[in-house]
Structure 1
Amino acid sequence: MNTTDRALTVRCAPLRTLDPVPPTEPADIRLWYAPTASLRPLLAHLEGVLDDEERQRAARFRFAPDRERFIAGHGLLRHLLGRALGLPPHAVRMARGAHGKPFLPDGGPPFNLSDTKDALVVALGGDDALGVDIETVARRTDHALVADHYFTPEEVAYIRAGEGEAQRRFLTLWTRKEAVLKASGVGIMDDLHALRVLDGEQALRIRHAVFVREAAPAYHVSSFGVGPMHLIALATPRPHRRPLLHEARLALGPVD
């Protein structure tokens, strides 16, 4: 038997709209979402809670929008984790797995961060490793070229049948693939065409050595439209309830 070949089941729920609600409502998994511009007035504060390694990473970005997005996302993440752990944001200790996925070495809730050019999202909660991905529908992508390289023939046919919805269909599938890879801890995989993520259940065979070793037997993926411009996908190894969406600014409270 080929030890680098095994079964994987991926179950994808249809795309649904997700509107923000107050964070007082109970939830297993919460999605804290923000247009990057909404956090720009808080950048100095958010940078102040980063650790030295994060500040060094931020300084390496060549372009200001990329640097600001990094600071906003990681500063927000520290606030959310600090609140969950009962610690000041700057005191949260994180480490990275073999493939770069951050985790809490001292224990704590599962989490994942994703950003796109004009927005970011932090997924937090549940009992399993999770992966989240966000994209803007305004992203300039040659979806036909990318799909031919990274998507299955069935996915390519689905995208092309979308007529005016082709870009949105492409990004829905792309965020699902990214969310599954992030949930697995692999993060990046060349043969994305092996990972089919159409609506419904997919029984797959995976051969990528690292993914074979790290991935769970199954992933459950939900997809959401957030406002007119953004798509979010959430993946977990076991079924999850519908997450709640919150405005990230509410997690920061009053900031001097």
Structure 2
Amino acid sequence: MKSVIGGTARDVPERDSAPDTVDLWVITLDRQFQASESRYVDEGERERAARMTGQQRRHFTATRTGARVILARYTQLPPTDLPWRIGPWGKPYLDGHGMPTFNVSHCGSMAAVAVLGTGHRDVGVDLERVTEDGRHQLVVERWFRPAERQAVRHVGLSAAAHEATRLWTRKEACAKVTGERLLDMLHLPVTGSPPVIRTGPSPSAGPDRCVRDVEVQPDWMAAVALTGTDDFQIRVLNGSADDTQDDGRT
């Protein structure tokens, strides 16, 4: 069974799709920002956006707006009527029985929204751009496990950058499954070929997680994690921010 399935942003997901298929919406935030998009975000998000710089603020608001429009397709609710809530660690979720689980990540001009339509497992996603400035390698050397540090040593700069980014996105996706702080999750072992299974050594370590990689575009990497140890598929849906605007179908 293939782990990554192709798709387009015009696909309308079905609520009764395979239980373990995650839809990964990849949004390019490259068009001119429209002020009307902010009508979907709540007061807390507006306050958070107000503390950001101009472009960062526009990308944050467009990402949260796009997530709501995407989720409206699964719930058949208008974006303004979604039961959008914020968890203890700041992770957004939809409140209510039968609601899809989702997670959002954005980096620069790109955003990712991971949705599990059945909602029976929690989901986390991280999206990062692969750069050769050594940023991720330094984090790996300082904070990651010995086997992970070894994986980025003694290889070329490009290979080291890709592997360090892969490890980083896996850990962050695992942390975002439950909304925990990334600092508390840096000890997680995430090396190996996917699906990588992280089994907690004790109940206090949190739920088991299964994580997979996705190269969404050249030099852009993402990881998706779910609670539990069962494997899952990822359906990638690509599109621009225009494709996630409210088109009257919800």
TM-score (norm 2): 0.81
Equivalent residues, number: 231
RMSD, aligned α-carbons:
2.6
Task: Report what 2:121 is aligned to.
Answer: 128
Task: Report what 1:167 is aligned to.
Answer: 161
The answer to whether the Cα contact below 8 Å between 1:150 and 1:191 also exists between their aligned partners in 2 is no
Deviations along 1:21-70, whole A, 9 cap, x unmatched?
Answer: 45257553101101221xx3353232122222222221121x11210111
Query: Please, which of 97, 101, 111 is the counterpart of residue 91 of structure 2?
Result: 101
Distance 1:55 1:205, change over 3 A: closer
The answer to which of 109-118 and 170-179 deviates more is 109-118
TM-score (norm 1): 0.79
Task: Report the residue type matching 1:118 in the other structure.
Answer: S
| 1:228-247 matched pairs, under 5 angstroms | 228-238=218-228, 239-247=230-238
Task: Report what 2:73 is aligned to.
Answer: 83
In the aligned structure 2, how far is the partner of 1:90 from the partner of 1:203? 36
In the aligned structure 2, how far is the partner of 1:202 from the partner of 1:224? 16
In the aligned structure 1, how far is the partner of 2:185 from the partner of 2:63? 28
Alignment of 1:43 with 2:30, yes or no, is no
Q: Which stretches of structure 1, 4 residues or longer, exceed 6 Å deviation after superposition?
A: 202-205
Distance 1:252 1:221, change over 3 A: same
CA displacement at 1:254 relative to structure 2: 4.0
SS at match of 1:161: coil
- Unaligned runs of at least 5 residues, structure 1: 1-15
The answer to whether the Cα contact below 8 Å between 1:185 and 1:214 also exists between their aligned partners in 2 is no
Distance 1:17 1:241, change over 3 A: closer
Task: Report what 1:188 is aligned to.
Answer: 182
In the aligned structure 2, how far is the partner of 1:203 from the partner of 1:245? 23
In the aligned structure 2, how far is the partner of 1:222 from the partner of 1:24? 23
SS at match of 2:126: strand
Higher RCO (CA 8 Å, separation ≥ 6 residues): 1
Distance 1:121 1:144, change over 3 A: closer
